[in-house]
């Protein structure tokens, strides 16, 4: 008799696939880069992705590519930096390596819009071209790609993982490997392997009060709208400047935004409308004229690792978007706009896997130096809740601020041959607010893939890898660390 609430233990036979060197679970923002790095560093690599495309939030979620440059929040510093970016990008870039290579390829083929014709703070892309480019790059590197396949379990021997269990239309399979990278965003592989984790705000966060413990950043979607006359939107905002609001990461004034738009560059801005619905929304122009990405209707209080919650969230956002569109169509330039594409629900925050080092907000804010630094980030905190003194999280930083990411935050406690990459690395909720943006996740992916391949080549456990040798390899491959 099956009794609701009790556990049912299923025994399913699984076919064992040929072994590879490195398996990357999750082909999203961090996972794609991890797979490329592992393969380019000589490891036979397999990438497992539950969806029918790669890139995760980068492609399927329409996210922007943020933040390649050091961060200067105040207007005059930012304007000076943009000038410098045009003349001497090396002074400002914190991330290079594979993330830079990909974005330069996107820009070159006209599939992305950047700043000053180069890779600046923010880029927006044509997601379908982006998906194809990533497939091409993975094939060039001879990564074995398995799509429509979910990682559901692990085969362990003590503290070592021997293989991961896959579920797909082909049934259940096991792929054995020597090193594993968890780039599922939610830490699925780590949790199946017995790793400890926290969710949302914990007592380690500066903002922690009893009512905030466990709170996670909101879910949301960046959706595409077609048939938009942006020239008309700019004309309307000129007549009604009260509706224009600057976007903090990209440009500041109406004139700058318009100038960039006319130059065919990224010209993002916010539309604000008191007493109207939606009262404020972000507009991102895209390489295809007449199509924009809009952001961000949000859903709070739901858990992205709970199937019932996420199902409800999908239905709620669909209804919310219908109402948004009604409001948006009242704006000149948007009258004939239609909903072109809505991605699956974007989950900002779920589990934080416990690693050898827990990265905290003060490490980031005070720009702590780490011996095992494997890359830099420069994204100001983008998580809620956050500390009171960071109420204005965009101006509370010194000029040209950036931070270091330690390798130990990628090493999963209690497990020998598993690295975590992407938004679920070992960080507090607040530090996650600086780690979760795309460029930071890509940088982490490159380090994870490189380390996994090196551990195999040098026949060493991950924890015995020399930080200096790892950093030297990353630098030799063009990354910054
Ligand atoms: C609405 C929204 C807007 C955002 N906007 C921006 C922005 O403008 N700029 C910015 O820099 N950042 C933005 N972010 C944040 C950023 O996009 C993400 O934090 C980042 O992309 C996460 O990268 P990741 O590799 O950890 O996860 P993902 O990119 O989500 O990749 C995880 C991959 O793993 C796969 N997967 C998951 N579980 C399994 C499993 N069990 N088996 C197999 N595959 C699995 C998923 O399908 C996915 O492809 C936004 C986030 C959201 C939600």
* Nearest atom, ligand 1, residue 424 CA: 26
Alpha-carbon separation of residue 475 from 77, 417, 446 (angstroms) = 29, 23, 11
List the chain residues with pLDDT less than 70: 116-119, 248-251
| CA triple 305-310-315, angle to 5 deg | 175
pLDDT digit string (tens) for 352-396?
Answer: 999 999 999 999 999 999 999 999 999 999 999 999 887 777 778
Alpha-carbon separation of residue 5 from 191, 299, 464 (angstroms) = 21, 28, 44
* Nearest atom, ligand 1, residue 122 CA: 9
Which structure tokens are listed for 146? 């398995």
* Nearest atom, ligand 1, residue 28 CA: 31
What's the confidence (pLDDT) of residue 117?
55
Q: Considering the entire predicted model, what is its pTM? A: 0.97
Q: Decide: 183 in ligand 1 pocket, CB within 6 A.
A: yes
Answer whether 151's CB lies under 8 Å from 188's CB: yes
Looking at the domain that runs over 14-208+349-481, which CATH code has it been given? 3.50.50.60
* Nearest atom, ligand 1, residue 184 CA: 34
Q: Decide: 316 in ligand 1 pocket, CB within 6 A.
A: no
| CA triple 413-419-425, angle to 5 deg | 75
Q: Decide: 27 in ligand 1 pocket, CB within 6 A.
A: yes
Backbone angle region of 23, left / alpha / beta, with phi > 0 → left and psi within -120 to 50 → alpha: beta
Residue recorded with tokens 């859903």? 299
What's the confidence (pLDDT) of residue 250?
66
- Separation between Cα atoms, residue 28 and residue 184, nearest integer Å: 7
For atom 38 of ligand 1, the residue with the nearest CA is 184
Pocket test for ligand 1, best of 31, 37, 56, 216 (most atoms within 8 A of CB): 56
What's the confidence (pLDDT) of residue 119?
67
Pocket test for ligand 1, best of 184, 224, 346 (most atoms within 8 A of CB): 184
* Nearest atom, ligand 1, residue 149 CA: 43
For atom 22 of ligand 1, the residue with the nearest CA is 423
- How many residues comprise the chain? 481
Q: Decide: 55 in ligand 1 pocket, CB within 6 A.
A: no
Classified as helix, coil or strand, 294 is strand
- Separation between Cα atoms, residue 217 and residue 223, nearest integer Å: 19
Over the range 179-189, which residues count as b (16 or more CB within 10 Å of their CB) and which as e? bbbbbbbbbbb
Q: Decide: 26 in ligand 1 pocket, CB within 6 A.
A: yes
Domain boundaries, the chain: 14-208+349-481, 219-341
């Amino acid at each position: 008799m099956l009794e609701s609430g009790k556990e049912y233990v299923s025994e399913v036979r699984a076919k064992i696939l040929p072994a590879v060197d490195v398996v990357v679970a999750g082909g999203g923002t961090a996972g794609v880069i991890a797979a490329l790095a592992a393969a380019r560093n000589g490891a036979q690599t397999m990438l497992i992705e539950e969806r029918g495309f790669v890139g995760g939030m980068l492609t399927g979620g329409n996210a922007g590519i943020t933040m390649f440059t050091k961060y200067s929040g105040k207007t005059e510093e930012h304007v000076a930096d943009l000038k410098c970016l045009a003349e001497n990008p090396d002074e400002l870039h914190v991330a290079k390596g594979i993330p830079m290579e990909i974005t330069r390829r996107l820009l070159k083929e006209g599939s992305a819009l950047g700043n000053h014709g180069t890779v600046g703070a923010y880029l927006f892309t044509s997601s379908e071209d982006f998906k194809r480019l990533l497939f091409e790059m993975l094939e060039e590197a001879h990564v074995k790609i398995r799509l429509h396949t979910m990682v559901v379990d692990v085969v362990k021997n003590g503290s070592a993982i021997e293989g991961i269990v896959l579920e797909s239309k082909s049934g259940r399979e096991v792929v054995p490997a020597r090193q594993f990278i968890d780039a599922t965003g939610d830490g699925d592989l780590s949790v199946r392997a017995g790793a400890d984790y926290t969710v949302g705000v914990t007592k380690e966060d500066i903002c922690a009060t009893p009512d905030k413990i466990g709170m996670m950043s909101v879910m949301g979607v960046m959706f595409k709208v077609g048939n938009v006359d942006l020239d008309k939107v700019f004309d309307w905002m000129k007549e009604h400047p009260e509706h224009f609001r600057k976007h903090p990461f990209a440009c500041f004034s109406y004139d700058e935004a318009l100038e960039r738009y006319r130059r065919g560059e990224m010209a993002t801005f916010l539309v604000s409308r008191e007493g109207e619905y939606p009262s404020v929304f972000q507009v991102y122009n895209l390489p295809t004229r007449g199509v924009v990405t809009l952001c961000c209707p949000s859903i709070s209080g739901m858990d992205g690792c709970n199937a019932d919650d996420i199902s409800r969230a999908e239905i709620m956002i669909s209804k919310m978007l219908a109402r948004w569109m009604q409001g948006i169509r009242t704006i000149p330039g948007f009258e004939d706009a239609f909903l072109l594409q809505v991605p699956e629900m974007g989950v900002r925050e779920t589990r934080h896997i416990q690693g050898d080092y827990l990265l905290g907000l003060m490490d980031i804010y005070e720009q702590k130096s780490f011996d095992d630094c494997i890359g830099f980030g420069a994204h100001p905190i983008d998580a809620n809740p956050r500390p009171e003194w960071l109420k204005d999280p965009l101006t509370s930083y010194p000029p040209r601020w950036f931070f270091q990411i330690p390798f130990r935050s990628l090493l999963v406690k209690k497990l020998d041959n598993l690295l975590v990459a992407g938004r679920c690395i070992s960080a507090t909720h607040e530090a996650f607010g600086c780690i979760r943006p795309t460029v930071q996740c890509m940088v982490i992916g490159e380090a994870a893939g490189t380390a996994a391949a090196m551990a195999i080549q040098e026949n060493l456990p991950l924890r015995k890898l020399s930080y200096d040798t790892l950093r030297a390899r990353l630098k030799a491959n063009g990354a910054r660390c």
